[in-house]
Every structure is written in C-alpha cells, then in structure tokens.
C-alpha cells in the first residue's frame, strides 16, 4: 500500500517566509520547511498497482498556471482543543477549478468524490493540548501575515511516509500547467509581511 495526495510545491522563498513563523507555541510539533505544501486532493492509502492509473489520469488534466498568495494564520479543531495551526491561501478561482478537475479525474477511475468544501492551506504545526496556552496570542500576532504572490506552474502527485520525526512528503510525478515559464526563466520576486487588506481564503 502507498499513501498518496495531490498538491502544490511551494517556491523556496515562500517556504523561507513560512519558516519564520516557527516557534512561540509551546508543545507545537512544527512542520519542516521542506514539507510545506498546499494539498489539492487527498487520496489516501491505495494499492501500489493503482499508482500508474492515478498518474495517467492526472496527466490528462489541462489547467492554467496561476499566482498564489498566502494570507493570515488560523487553526483547525474546536476552540478549546485545536489540533492544527495553518496559513491560509487567498481565494483563487484557478486553484478552485484545478481542485475540481483533479477530483473529477480521480472519480473517473473509481475513487469517491471529495465531499468536503475545499479549503486550501499550508499546515505549520500539529498541536497538543499544552500548545493552547499561547496559541491565541500567536494567531493574533500573525493574523495579517502575507506571502506572495508566487507563480505556480505545476502540481504533483505526492507520496506520504510516516517516520519517528513526522510525515515525509515526496513528489513522485510532477505535472506542468499551461503558461508555465520556460525552464530557467526567473519569475517575479515574493513579498511577505503584514497587509491591511488581507482576505482569508481558507474559510
């Protein structure tokens, strides 16, 4: 069996800005910067014999490259017991459409549709009960966090492995999006910081 998901790799500069948020929440288990990603569609554990079918189905997807902006910090879970600290993705219609196409491609080869509302985000940390003591102040202090825009010109089929230090995510197959910059072409630089006009696209 192999555990799979479809997601976006983040540019190095964006991962660097995210890594600056690490710390200040006792008990949090922080995601390593090389593991930062945006999930498009979780697949789960599948027989390894299905890998080629999944990879082929994703290769038939046609979608455009787009700009991604990260905005705001929040949590998943009950207010009294949050379990995940994350950075949201500013609403992006192209990304929403890509999620729908990936979901449809997987349904066409026999997977159940993704019944949840798509809320793209980057996981920063997994939380324990002890982390809630300073969590509120951390979220408030970083509520105006913003990074990007960054050009996203592809997506990937990832495998996920559990280790003693946490999950390890590895891109197994990469797919280009229409309008991707030629190899070696330098894209626009990233900006990061606080922005009064941030929308939380992960709601």
Predicted confidence at residue 188, as pLDDT, reads: 42
CATH 3.30.460.10, applies to 2-180? no
At 122-156, the pLDDT tens digits run: 999 999 876 677 899 999 999 899 999 999 999 99
Strand ordering across the sheet containing 145-152: 29-30, 121-126, 81-89, 66-78, 145-152, 192-194
Domain boundaries, the chain: 2-180
Predicted confidence at residue 192, as pLDDT, reads: 55
Please state the rounded mean pLDDT for residues 44-70: 96
Q: Tell me which residue of 58, 62, 45, 136 sits closest to 97, measured CA to CA.
A: 62
Question: What confidence tier does 186 reach under pLDDT thresholds 50, 70, 90?
Answer: very low
Of the listed ranges 53-57, 111-115, 160-164, 186-190, the one predicted with least confidence: 186-190
**Of residues 75 and 167, more confidently modeled:** 75
Of the listed ranges 15-29, 68-82, 99-113, 124-138, the one predicted with least confidence: 124-138
């Amino acid at each position: 069996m192999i555990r799979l998901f479809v997601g976006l790799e983040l540019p190095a500069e964006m991962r660097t800005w995210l890594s600056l948020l690490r710390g200040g929440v006792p008990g949090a288990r922080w995601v390593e910067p090389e593991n930062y990603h945006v999930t498009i569609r979780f697949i789960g554990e599948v027989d390894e014999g299905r890998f080629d079918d999944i990879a082929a189905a994703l290769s038939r997807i046609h979608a455009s490259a787009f700009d991604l902006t990260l905005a705001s910090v929040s949590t998943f879970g009950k207010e009294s017991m949050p379990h995940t600290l994350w950075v949201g993705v500013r609403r992006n219609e192209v990304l929403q459409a890509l999620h729908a196409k990936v979901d449809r491609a997987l349904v066409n080869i026999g997977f159940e549709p993704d019944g949840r509302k798509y809320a793209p985000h980057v996981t920063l940390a997994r939380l324990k009960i002890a982390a809630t003591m300073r969590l509120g102040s951390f979220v408030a202090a970083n509520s105006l966090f913003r990074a990007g825009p960054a050009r996203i010109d592809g997506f990937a089929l990832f495998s996920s492995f559990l280790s003693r230090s946490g999950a390890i995510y590895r891109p197994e197959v990469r797919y280009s999006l229409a309008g991707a910059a030629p190899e070696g072409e330098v894209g626009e630089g990233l900006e990061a910081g606080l922005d009064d006009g941030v929308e939380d696209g992960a709601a």
